[in-house]
């Protein structure tokens, strides 16, 4: 029947009048029309979805944006972000580095950077970052009371993120380090869709549970076309201050093995050290409070590895 209909429609021969041929010819016309309509509909839906996504727009004055992320909380992501920013400056004092705290529900940057107070407004009505240790910082923690809980629904959080991205007067920065909230939710997607990101640094402990979430975080950035610069293994080893015995409390080389599995760079180890915890709690990060310590050297080495990866990715 298909052959008959094909020949009939293309005039190869004219069969005697047949209701069967006419019926199948009509059905074929309807099928072909529906197929064209389906393709047109799919194309229109694709165009509408593309239009609905936010257009990526650079942050005024910022050359490159680095995000520091983790699949779960409690792995030292914020401490890593702060010391990475300070390590970039320690390695090259000519570079200007800013720090954005995108963790709306649990902002840590004010405490870690020993900053408090409300930001002032510039002449063009943008918030002026608070500065310490030569690093301009912006956080939701500057806009709410210290003990006030941020009980917001998604739309309010997205609005706050938009303000932190677009209504801050950063001046001129070589790098803006963004301390992301843990996980792979709306905030992460909103940031990656709104601004061009030079690369993502994933922080994890060697613990298996943390590595599972770190893998999800790395895969999320890949899906949204953000280069994964590599993995940082935090709290990698503990050295007893009394006997100098070293213990792998959270396991050994888990993040290094995950980096190999994912095919991404391993950026380095950061030890579990009392000095890092105490200096962070005092608001004097170890890179500035103990610049000659092995802990500070670990963060400076991390900063060097990040810069090298940025050059490889951009090149």
User: Is the predicted pLDDT of residue 44 greater than 70, yes or no?
Assistant: no
Q: What pLDDT shows up at residue 21?
A: 58
Q: How far apart are CA 47 and CA 6, in angstroms?
A: 34
**Which residues does 135 contact at the CB level (< 8 Å), separation at least 6?**
85, 86, 89, 97, 98, 99, 113
- Tokens at 125, concatenated: 């009505």
Q: How far is CA 201 from CA 118, 148, 157, 174, 296, in A?
A: 29, 30, 23, 17, 18
pLDDT for 126 beyond 80: yes
Is the pLDDT at 135 greater than 80? The verdict is yes
Asked if residue 191 lies in contact with residue 180, where contact means CB atoms within 8 angstroms, the answer is yes
Distance (Å, whole) CA 141 – CA 116:
8
Contact 101, 182 (CB under 8 A): no
Mean predicted confidence (pLDDT) in 258-276: 90
Paired sense of beta strands 135-139 and 97-101, if any? parallel
Lowest mean pLDDT among 3-7, 68-72, 123-127: 3-7
Q: Which helix (H) or strand (E) holds 174?
A: strand 173-179
Measured CA distances, 40 to 32, 46, 47, 51, 104 (Å):
12, 10, 11, 17, 42
Confidence at residue 231, expressed as pLDDT on a 0 to 100 scale: 94
Q: How far apart, in whole angstroms, are the C-alpha atoms of residue 108 and residue 113?
A: 9
Q: What are the phi and psi torsion angles at 104 (to 5°)?
A: -65, -40
- CA 189 – CA 131 distance, rounded (Å): 28
Q: Which two tokens stand for residue 287?
A: 């890179």
pLDDT interval class at 42 (50, 70, 90): low
CA 8, 14, 15: angle at the middle one, nearest 5? 95
- Predicted confidence (pLDDT) per residue in 281-313, tens digit: 999 999 999 999 999 999 999 999 999 999 999
What are 161-216's pLDDT values in tens digits? 888 888 999 999 999 999 998 877 778 888 888 899 999 999 998 887 788 888 88
Nearest to 203 by CA among 223, 177, 173, 165: 177
CB atoms within 10 A of CB 196: 13
Map residue 236 onto helix, strand or coil: strand
* Residue-level pLDDT at 246: 79
Q: What angle do helix axes 254-262 and 208-223 make, rounded to 10 degrees? A: 30
pLDDT at 299: 96
93, two tokens: 């004092």
Q: How confident is the model at residue 14 (pLDDT cuts 50, 70, 90)?
A: very low
**Residue of 236, 235, 218 lying closest to 227 (CA atoms):** 218
Buried b (16+ CB within 10 A) or exposed e, 210-237: bbebbbebbebbeeeebbbbbbbbbbbb
16 pLDDT more than 60: no
Rg, C-alpha atoms of the chain: 27
Is residue 70 a contact partner of residue 209, using CB atoms and an 8 Å limit?
no
């Amino acid at each position: 029947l298909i052959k008959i209909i094909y020949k009939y429609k293309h005039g190869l021969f004219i069969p005697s009048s047949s209701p069967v041929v006419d019926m199948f010819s009509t059905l074929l016309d309807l099928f072909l029309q529906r197929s064209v309509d389906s393709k047109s509909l799919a194309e229109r839906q694709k165009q509408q979805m593309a239009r609905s996504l936010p257009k990526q727009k650079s942050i005024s004055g910022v050359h490159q944006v680095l995000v520091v992320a983790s699949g779960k909380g409690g792995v030292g992501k914020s401490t890593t972000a702060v010391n990475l920013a300070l390590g970039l400056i320690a390695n090259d004092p000519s570079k200007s580095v800013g720090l954005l705290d995108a963790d709306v529900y649990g902002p840590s940057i004010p405490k870690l950077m020993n900053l408090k107070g409300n930001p002032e407004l510039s002449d063009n009505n943008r918030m002026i970052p608070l500065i310490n240790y030569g690093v301009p910082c912006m956080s939701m923690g500057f806009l709410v009371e210290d003990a006030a809980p941020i009980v917001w629904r998604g739309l309010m959080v997205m609005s706050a993120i938009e303000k932190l991205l677009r209504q801050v007067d950063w001046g001129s920065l070589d790098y803006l380090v963004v301390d992301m909230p843990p996980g792979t939710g709306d905030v992460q997607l909103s940031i990656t869709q709104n601004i061009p990101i030079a690369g993502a640094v994933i922080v994890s402990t060697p613990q298996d549970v943390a590595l599972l979430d770190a893998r999800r975080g790395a895969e999320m950035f890949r899906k949204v076309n953000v280069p994964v610069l590599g993995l940082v293994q935090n709290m990698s080893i503990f050295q007893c201050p009394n006997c100098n015995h070293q213990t792998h409390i959270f396991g050994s080389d888990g993040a290094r093995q995950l980096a190999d599995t994912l095919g991404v760079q391993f950026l380095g180890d950061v030890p579990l050290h009392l000095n890092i915890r105490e200096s962070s709690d005092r608001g004097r990060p170890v890179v500035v409070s103990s610049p000659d310590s092995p802990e500070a050297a670990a963060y400076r080495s991390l900063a060097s590895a990040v810069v090298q990866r940025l050059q490889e990715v951009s090149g």
